Structure 1
Amino acid sequence: MLILIPRICLSFILMLLLPAYSFAEVSAKIAIDRYVREIQQSHRIPGLALAIVRDGKVIHRANYGTANIEFDVSVSDETVFPLFSTTKIFSVVAVHQLIEQKKISLDSKLAELLDDLPETWREVKIKHLLSHSSGLPDIVVYENQVENEAQQAVYAQAILFKPGEKFDYNQTNYWLLNRIFQKIAGQSLSNYILTTQFLGAQETVFFEGNHLAVHPHFSVGYNNAGSKLMKRNWHFPQYNYGAAGLNMSMNAFLEWHKKLESGTLLSTASLANLQQAFVYDQARSFAHGWDLIDMDGVASYGFTGGMATAFRQVPQKKMTLILLANAMFIPSAKQTSLDGFVNRLLLMAETLR
């Protein structure tokens, strides 16, 4: 005889049969997926990829939505997203690799490495570039010019404040780091990143500053323009690829993260130096290259880019979150910011193992 069990009773029986932690994990994963889709819809983000790692194990990973609306291509593990300023995560690791090799130090003055600097720039040190406390004018104003013209224009500008005084985010810092790599390492910063942190340029890891370029697996980027979505037509000059311009899939990002966690890319001591808080004259939380973000008394480190991508580590909880999206999280009084979104996801994932 067939016995029909009401759905509520069946759910209760399953709860009793499953270990408590398994039910909590399933509930947390469902809640995370629901929250992601809710934020994705409210910000009108066509597609994104999310991965959360704890103690070397991926505890939550999912792809949401569309990589290309025109051709109805879904986001996959191989979808390549522009990282924007999250590129700096890899550039900072490269700088600390040179420091580990004793080719430069945090206290190296730019004047020791580059001989054509304006007189007022000569006291700036590597640590000031990494902490955005250099006081230098921003070369991004001239990014539509060729490098020589941009260099002459930014060199003609006065330094804004004494190095180390305060935080002032600018892209000149990474343009100078690129020039330092060309001199010290004999190659561009972008090429050094590909050869030392990856296996060279690949289909799912490459530098490309033109977001309308065609590459395999490349996700189309979108901007919200009123009621319409428009293709993102951004461009980053090759001479400043250390600041932005890296494109990557989630698969490639997770493989890189394994290397970072295993000590293949940096020693434990070097990673600790990278995460050491920089002391500004005017207080601001930032480390020697990565942002330092307080999460209710717990330190976290990382970077966001283009209000669309994020990398965040929480060493105390042994957790890392990677988020890649093809449109911007635009904060407002009614909308969650990208940092707020990341913070909540990390909290929601705490029950996962």
Structure 2
Amino acid sequence: MKNFLSAFFMLSSIVVFSQKKESPKIELKQTIDNYLQQTIKANEIPGLAVGVVKDGKIIFEVYYGKENLEGNHPINQNSLFRIYSTSKLISTVSVFQLIEKGQLSLDDTISKYLENLPKEWQDVKIKNLLSHSSGIPNIIRYKDISVAATDQEKIERLSKEKMEFETGNQFSYNQTNYWLLTMMIEKITGESFENYILENQFSHSKDKILFSSNSSENISNRVVKNFYNTKTKRYEKTSENDGLRAHSGNGVNITLPTFLNWSINLNNNIFLDSETKKSMWKTFDFNNKKDRFAYGWDITKVNNHYSYGFSGGNVSAYRVFQDRNLSIIVLSNGYRYAPVQDQIINHIAGLVDKNLIDQYLLSEESIISEFLKVDNQNAEQNYQTLKRKNPEWNFQKTLNLTGYILIGNDRPDDAIKVFELNVKDNPNSGDAFDSLGEAYFIAEKYEIANKHYLKSLELNQKNDNAKKMLSKINQILSTKK
């Protein structure tokens, strides 16, 4: 009997200890879930999937909403999300795999691998494509180029356009860069881009990833992106079709579990060794000494910790906080007011790791969300409270962004209130007065708009937009006399 009681109490102690050990994990999951539920409600997000990897293990994976608004099929582990430009991260890893094998170099010119290029493109290097510093004309700006055009037909058409800037001078996001990388990957490997990606990054999950840059294509379990029509007050499905040669830039469709495993493999140096990853995440040296971007990866600073990632279509994002061994994936199918994928990542990062709590970003999130509420009479009070607590912080860009979100959602009167607050707090900012002038112009209050554009021009005499708008307003007012 004594031995039985001893064993019983020992087992009870183990169970209690285990429950105490698990409770912080359960509490964290509940906290993240509560936050996401609030965010979904505030932004009327139709569907969302979020995953978190910490120290090489998946600690959070959750699904909300439906795959398609017209059906009742819930988003789940088999749902395929088109991740749009987040696809570029997977393509970038494939480039660095070739670099690691010695089959490619960042300093190689693209003319080493591609023929019949315009003279101005000849000396553009691989590193310029990855860092978006090539200056090559951006293919999406030319609507006369068919998505079905051959590679050579596209090159011939783009060769008629001038270089956008001197190669290496600045960052300018450009879809042509990744289409050219696609061609080089295929030339070097002798495989199609899609097969090379599948074999070298998804060999054990080929049925959980597919390539399609056509949103109208009927694909089982695919989550369709939606946009909110402010006129009809309802969501509508997108129908973008960028063609088969856009897959490296925006055509990856993937399930959340597959993406999470990809992240684990990347962080465990399965795809690339640690030194290669360091070179991939190294800041590119732009000639203008202003822009900051790595090789295919955006660089974001959160509470003095650098993270690397990218977002796509305003509905997907991936970020890795390398020094904290943390990765976060956000996949959605639309938003009512503004894209929130980066906001979600920053917020969750702070919940998972207190070293990543960024009070400025949290304050920014609070300011925007309060002003976006339809019943937002407490928004300014919330803003002023945050300002008093942190007088050294400037929220000019935050207020400006909020105002334009409100304009985009047919709420010009609310936008005017936010822009008025911005010029009050930033009386020497020509940009703030320019935005206020635009809001009054949209509200058809032309005389007041004229006054604010004049003030903007007084503060910034190089403001060509203000000059153009003043001319337009004068024409409108003259016709009314």
- The question of a shared fold, defined as TM-score above 0.5 by the shorter chain, is answered with yes
Q: Is 2:291 the counterpart of 1:287?
A: no
8 A Cα contact 2:137 2:161, kept in partner: yes
Aligned to 1:178: 182
Matches within 5 A, 1:99-110: 99-110=99-110
**Equivalent residue for 2:223?**
219
The corresponding residue for 1:264 is 270
- State the distance in 1 between where 2:79 and 2:107 align: 40
Q: Does the 8 Å contact 1:167/1:284 carry over to 2?
A: yes
Q: Structure 1 residue 304 and structure 2 residue 307: aligned?
A: no
Compare 95-104 and 31-40 and name the one that shifted more.
31-40
* 8 Å contact from structure 2 (residues 330, 341) kept in 1: no
Q: Is the helix fraction higher in 1 or 2?
A: 2
How far the C-alpha of 1:90 sits from its partner, in A, is 0.5
The runs of 5 or more residues in structure 2 that have no matched partner are 1-15, 356-481
| 3-state SS in 2 of match to 1:68 | coil
The residue aligned with 1:127 is 127
Q: 1:141 to 1:190 in 2, by over 3 A?
A: farther
In 1, the alpha carbon distance for the partners of 2:255 and 2:347 equals 23
Equivalent position to 2:170, from 166, 169, 179 = 166
Q: Contact 1:51 / 1:322 at 8 angstroms: preserved in 2? A: yes
Q: CA deviation at 1:153?
A: 2.0
Residue type matched to 1:241 in 2?
A: H
Matching residue of 2:57:
57
Partner deviation per Cα, 1:294-340 (whole Å, 9 max, x = no partner): 11211100110000001100011110001111114753xxxx74322
Contact kept in structure 2, 1:329 and 1:337, CA below 8 Å: no
Q: 1:216 to 1:152 in 2, by over 3 A?
A: same
Q: Distance in 1 between matches of 2:222 and 2:38?
A: 25
Same amino acid, percent of matched pairs: 31
- Point out where structure 1 has 5 or more consecutive residues left out of the alignment: 1-15
Matched residues, number: 333
Q: 1:180 is aligned with what amino acid?
A: M
1:8 is matched with none
In the alignment, which residue of structure 1 is the partner of 2:373? none
Between Structure 1 and Structure 2, the one with more strand by share is: 1
Shift of 1:34: 1.8
Letter in 2 for 1:165: N
Q: Residue type matched to 1:196 in 2?
A: N
| Deviation of the 1:200 alpha carbon | 8.0
**In the TM superposition, what whole-angstrom CA distance separates every residue of 1:29-53 from its partner, at most 9, and x where no partner exists?**
2221122122222322211111111
The answer to which of 239-248 and 68-77 deviates more is 68-77
Separation in structure 2 between the aligned mates of residue 102 and residue 266 of structure 1, nearest angstrom: 13
Change (3 A) 1:92 1:201: same
- Alpha-carbon shift at residue 146 of structure 1 (Å): 2.8
Instruction: Choose between structure 1 and 2 for higher RCO, CA contacts under 8 A separated by at least 6 residues.
Output: 1
Q: Does 2:312 correspond to 1:343?
A: no
CA distance in 2, matches of 1:329, 1:20: 40
- Which residue number in structure 2 is paired with residue 66 of structure 1? 66
Cα distance, 1:271–1:330 mapped onto 2, change above 3 Å: farther
Equivalent residue letter for 1:326: N
The letter for the 1-side match of 2:172 is D
Contact kept, 8 Å, 1:207 with 1:245, in 2: the verdict is yes
Quote the offset at 1:203 in angstroms: 3.6
Q: Rg larger in 1 or in 2?
A: 2
Equivalent positions of 1:243-258 (< 5 A) are 243-258=249-264
> CA RMSD for the aligned pairs?
2.2
1:231 maps to: 237
Distance 2:332 2:281 in 1: 26
Report deviation, 1:145: 3.9
Residue of structure 2 equivalent to 1:147: 149
Secondary structure (helix, strand or coil) at the match of 1:132 reads: coil
Which amino acid in 2 is paired with 1:245?
Answer: G
Aligned: 1:275 with 2:275: no
- Aligned match for 1:206, one of 198, 207, 210: 210
CA drift at 1:55: 0.8
Tell me: CA distance 1:69–1:146, structure 2 relative to 1, closer, same or farther (3 Å): closer
Q: Is the deviation greater in 229-238 or in 196-205?
A: 196-205
Supply the distance in 2 between the matched residues of 1:301 and 1:26 (Cα, whole angstroms): 28
CA distance in 1, matches of 2:85, 2:157: 23
1:194 maps to a residue whose letter is L
Task: Go from structure 1 to structure 2 and tell me whether the alpha carbon gap of 1:203 and 1:276 turns closer, same or farther (over 3 Å shift).
Answer: same
Residue 165 of structure 1 contacts residue 280 of structure 1 at CA under 8 Å; is this kept in 2?
yes
Question: Counterpart of 1:10?
Answer: none
Moved over 4 A (4+): 16-24
Deviation at 1:24, TM superposition (A): 4.2
Q: Deviations over 1:35-92 (max 9, x none)?
A: 2122222322211111111110112211111112222111111111001001001000
